[in-house]
Each structure stands twice: as structure tokens, then as C-alpha cells.
Structure 1
């Protein structure tokens, strides 16, 4: 399990040095993400992608749940309406179809919506700061926080999320 830690860095140079130190501390690039203002230089940084900067994951999960529920309800109604020989198959089939359609449609909407967790960082990012999002193993949280505090007094710790989504 990992925890997601947020740090604000004042400029590109500080962000690059932080990236290098995290790599030397054996945090893989896959778990290090930076967010900056549109048009800002991201040379030498691992930029956050749509999975970190949008609500795509949460929207897809909600869509799957709502779609499967509506599909199952529609399956029950269809099984009674057509007097199906195997009503369970109709319910399960329509629940699966609803989950797929719900996931797809909700993820399209979620990919366009900014991540609610990053909303509080909008003004510092717009002012030219860089947001570091790093997913750290639970056993190394204190070590990584101390490393960043010691080597980057200009950086500002912005908190931690208790749970990191499984696949972004």
C-alpha cells in the first residue's frame, strides 16, 4: 500500500532537483508526478497525466456502480416483461451491459473534469509553483518526508492522502 504526498516547489530547478533525489532514494518515476501551469516548462520532470489531474477514475467507478444497478433493475423488468426462461441470465447480462456503458460514459465526463483533490493547488500553480505528487510506500513515508524537508527548505509540505487509487 502507498500513500500520496503533496509538496509545492517554487520553481523548475527545485522540482528537477527533487525529482533526482527521489529517484536516488529509489522511488520509481512511475510514482512521481508533477503538475505545473499550462505552458510551463516540464523538462526533466515526469508530468502528471489525465489519471492524476482529472476525476476520470472516480467517475468511472461511479458509472460502473450506477450503470450496473440500473442495468440489473432493467433486467428484472425485462425478465418479467418477456417471461424469460432464465431470468437470472437476463438480469446479469443487462447488469454487465449497464456497468460497461456506465463506466464508458462516466469516464468520458470525468476525463474533462479537473481533479477535486487538486483544486486547492490551483492558485499556487497559476503563480508558477510546481506541485509534486509522490506515491510512497507506507513504510518509507517518514524517510521521504525527512529527505525532502532536509534537502529542500524552499519546498512546502501540503499534506497526504490516506489512500492512493489502485491504478493511476
Structure 2
């Protein structure tokens, strides 16, 4: 299990040095993500992708739940309307179809919506700072925080997220 920690770094040089130190501390690149304002140089950094910078996963989960509920309700209505011999099959089939359609359509919307988790960093990013998002094993949180605080006094610890999403 991992925890997600956030650090704000003042410039590209500091961000690059932080990336190198995390790699030397055996945090793989897969768990290190950087966010900067649009057009900012990201040379040598592992840039965050749409899974970290948007609400795609949250939207897809919501669409899945809402779509399956609406599909099941439609299946019940259809089963009564046609007096089906196996109403359970109709309800289950329409719930599954609704879940797929809901997840797909909601994820399209969510991929274009900025992440609610990153809203608090918008002003700092607009000022040219770099946001480090690193997913750290629970047993190494103190070690990594101490490493970054010791080697980067110019950086600011911005908190920890209690639950790291499974996909991003």
C-alpha cells in the first residue's frame, strides 16, 4: 500500500535534482510525477499524465454506478412492458449495458476536467513552481520526507493524501 505525498519545488533545476534523488532512493519513475503550468519545460522529469491531472477515474466510477442503476431501472420497466419469460436476464443485461455506457460517457467528461485534488496548487503552478507527486510505500514515508526536507530546503511539503487511487 502506498501514500501519495505532494511537494512544491521552485524551479526546473530543483525538480530535476529531486527526481534524481528519488531515483537514487529506489523510488521507481512509475511512482514519480511532476505537474507544471502549460508550456513549462519538463526536460528530465516524469510528467504526470491525464490520470493524475484530471478527474477521469472518479468520473468513470460515478458513471459506472449511475449507468448501472439507470440500466437496471430500465430493465425492470422493459421486463414489465414485454412480460418477459426471464426478467432477470433483461435487468442484468440492461444494467451491464448502462454501466458500460455510463462509465464511458462520464470518463470522456472527466478526462477534460482538472483534478479536484490539484486545485489547491493552481496559484503556485501559475507562478512557475513545479508540483511533485510521489507515491511512496507506507514504510518509507518518513525516510523520503526527511530526504527531501534535508536536500531541498527551498521545497515545501504540501501534505499527504491518505488514499492513493488504484489506477493513477
CA distance in 1, matches of 2:86, 2:23: 56
Structure 1: runs of 5 or more not aligned:
none
Q: Where do 4+ consecutive residues of structure 1 move more than 3 Å?
A: none
TM norm structure 1: 0.99
Alignment of 1:118-137 (within 5 A): 118-137=118-137
Aligned equivalents of 1:99, 1:90: Cα separation in 2: 14
* CA displacement at 1:55 relative to structure 2: 0.5
In structure 2, the residue matched to 1:153 is 153
Instruction: Report the equivalent of 1:47.
Output: 47
Q: CA deviation at 1:120?
A: 0.7
Three-state SS of the structure 2 residue aligned to 1:112 is coil
Q: Distance in 2 between the 1:86 and 1:44 partners?
A: 59
Q: What is the Cα deviation at residue 113 of structure 1?
A: 0.5
Gaps in structure 2 of 5+ consecutive residues: none
Task: Map Cα deviations across residues 107-156 of structure 1 (whole Å, 9 max, x no partner).
Answer: 00001100011001001101010000001111111111011001111100
CA distance in 2, matches of 1:66, 1:138: 33
Deviation readout 1:82-127 (Å, 9 max, x if unpaired): 1111111101100000000000000000011000110010011010
Which residue of 1 is the match for residue 17 of structure 2? 17
* Corresponding residue for residue 102 of structure 2: 102
**Matching residue of 2:117:** 117
The secondary structure found in structure 2 opposite 1:139 is helix
Quote the residue 2:2 is aligned against. 2
Secondary structure of residue in 2 paired with 1:165: coil
Give the corresponding residue for 2:91: 91
Q: How do 1:22-33 and structure 2 match up within 5 A?
A: 22-33=22-33
DSSP-derived class of the 1:59 partner: helix
